[in-house]
Amino acid sequence: YEIHERYRGPLLRSLIQDDRDMFSMWSKRCYEYLKSHKANERGSGDISREIESIYHLMAFNEKDALLQYNNLRYSFMQGKRLDLLTWLQDEIEAHLRFNPNISPVFRQWIQYGRASILYLSGHSNAAFNEYKQMLKYPALDTFLKARVLRAKGDLLGWQGKRILQAKACYVEAVKLWEILSNENCVSPGVNRDDTLKSLAETHRALARIEEIQGNPMEGMNHFHSALDAYRMCETLGLSYGRTLKWMARDLRLLGRWKEAHRRFDEAENAFKTFLKKEASGDAKLGKRVEETQDRLQNVRNARAALWKDEGKWKEAKEVLTRVIAFHDNKPEKTRNQEGLGIAHIDLGDVLRMEGNFIDAKQAYKKAQESLQRSAVNKGYPLLGLAEIAAVEGEEEKALGYLSQAEENFSKFDYTRKLGEVALCRAKLSRKVNIGEALENLEKAWEWIRKTTCTYIKSSVLVELTELAYESDRDSERCRDYRKQAMALAGQEQGPFVEHIARLRFIDGRIAGEEEPVDALPAFVESL
């Protein structure tokens, strides 16, 4: 340690004699000494002093010590410095071993800190057991209980069928944070901004679950609650921009494309503003610049996916190519593999739509390489590969891809993606037996219709219209599906042009069976 030698002796004597007042007095002097001799530049020596100052502050002012501990821990987590986080944790735990006077609340926070390190270092089961144990404490600090519930929910959310348990954890955490967000109700060791940001982030987690379950409309309510909480904060962090990006993605699923573009603009501006602050030296850890640049690329990638839906394939390809280059140019150790994989998926989708199957398959294969460790996303490229195999007449291979994708998405009750699997199966089986394809897709429609994913619902209705026409020409069933499909595809917020084109083509075929000349306007509009 770097304590001046004159303080070492009195500190040790007060410990041996169990003189708490004397120990507190000398600890305070050590703390003041360390604070008055801070290094001029941030480095290992400076961080060592910060850690040691917390160590001494604990002896006479636990509340401020806990606040400093959490602030330093949070900055290390934001900078992805597991080494510094472990160093801090080891030093504080060492102090706990010989100081029995530390309060239960502080000890609970230290246990949570250790569980967080286990989680970040990949020891999920050990972290989960720590969280379970903490939730059994009868006097667990309220803010910390909410934090533990949130962390437990994060772990449960990626363990297959336990997504409903994760949702229950998030809901309980939100209730606690809503109580704590009152200005007069502050937990020890945290400030009001911590509470508000935690509330916002948990609302965002709930919105993500709603999207997975096929309810982006319900997710929008959580996004609005998250934004309301962020706006009450004194400072906005990276999570604000992330929330705007996820909100834009859900708006895309709802077919509210104009609004989605506006939210993408806001997200991009939020990250750009943060980068400017970094450049001016306002932020503490340089690794946050790297993280922010990654987030900015994710926003651009998500917007490119929207352009893909809008038929703006050239613009989408240009952006996705730049996003992939950004990730590829980074060292493999720090590369955002998930971001890279998603960019390859979206690029593969655009290439597939253009009919460039060779390059599309290559993009999907690269996505699979990048997403090997991803829980949910590794099912995405399988859908694209199945679509190509179906078009190329490799039905057995297509069914194999679909089975793998279905198995992956079923683990998480991923309603929207399971709907896409059912849609692809219908396209595949219509070549063999249209009646069977129609029957299977109608069964899938019974649960897809209950979701609020406008785009996937429109896709399924268009496919049902085509299958009903092939099965029974101008039937009442065909007309009913066509009416529902056009109502969704032609919405004002962002019309689904491809879907409208396919529906107008069916209109032309129906009209042409009675009077060929009447089919012309529909075919022209379809083109």
Render each residue's pLDDT in the chain as its tens digit; 527 residues.
Answer: 445 556 666 666 665 556 667 667 767 877 777 777 654 444 445 777 788 788 778 777 888 888 888 888 888 887 678 888 898 888 888 877 767 778 888 889 999 999 999 988 888 899 999 999 999 998 888 889 999 999 999 988 766 568 889 999 999 999 999 988 876 665 666 778 888 999 999 999 999 999 888 888 999 999 999 999 998 888 777 789 999 999 999 999 888 999 999 999 999 999 998 888 765 554 454 567 788 888 999 999 999 999 998 889 999 999 999 999 999 999 888 888 999 999 999 999 999 999 999 999 999 999 999 998 877 788 999 999 999 999 898 999 999 999 999 998 888 878 888 888 988 888 888 877 888 888 888 888 888 888 888 888 898 999 999 999 988 876 888 999 999 999 988 876 667 888 989 999 988 888 887 777 778 888 888 88
Exposure of 495 in the CB half-sphere (CA atoms within 13 A): 11
pLDDT for the residue 275: 83
Contact between residue 254 and residue 453 where contact means Cβ atoms under 8 Å apart: yes
Type of residue at 308: K
End-to-end CA distance of the chain: 77
pLDDT for the residue 186: 59
Decide: pTM greater than 0.75.
Answer: yes
**Separation between Cα atoms, residue 339 and residue 325, nearest integer Å:** 12
**Separation between Cα atoms, residue 149 and residue 112, nearest integer Å:** 11
Positive or negative, the CA dihedral 106, 111, 117, 119 is: negative
DSSP 254-271: TT-HHHHHHHHHHHHHHH
> Cβ atoms within 10 A of the Cβ of 97, count?
7
Q: State residue 519 phi and psi, 5-degree precision.
A: -80, -20
**Separation between Cα atoms, residue 233 and residue 270, nearest integer Å:** 15
Structural tokens at position 60: 């006479």
Burial class from Cβ neighbours inside 10 Å (0-12, 13-18, 19+) for residue 476 reads exposed
Q: Which residue has the tokens 């195999």?
A: 389
Contact between residue 190 and residue 229 where contact means Cβ atoms under 8 Å apart: no
pLDDT for the residue 130: 93
Q: Which ranges in 449-496 belong to alpha helices (H)?
A: 454-472, 476-489
pLDDT for the residue 398: 94
Element (H, E) at 82: helix 82-98
Domain ranges, ordered by start, for the chain = 430-527
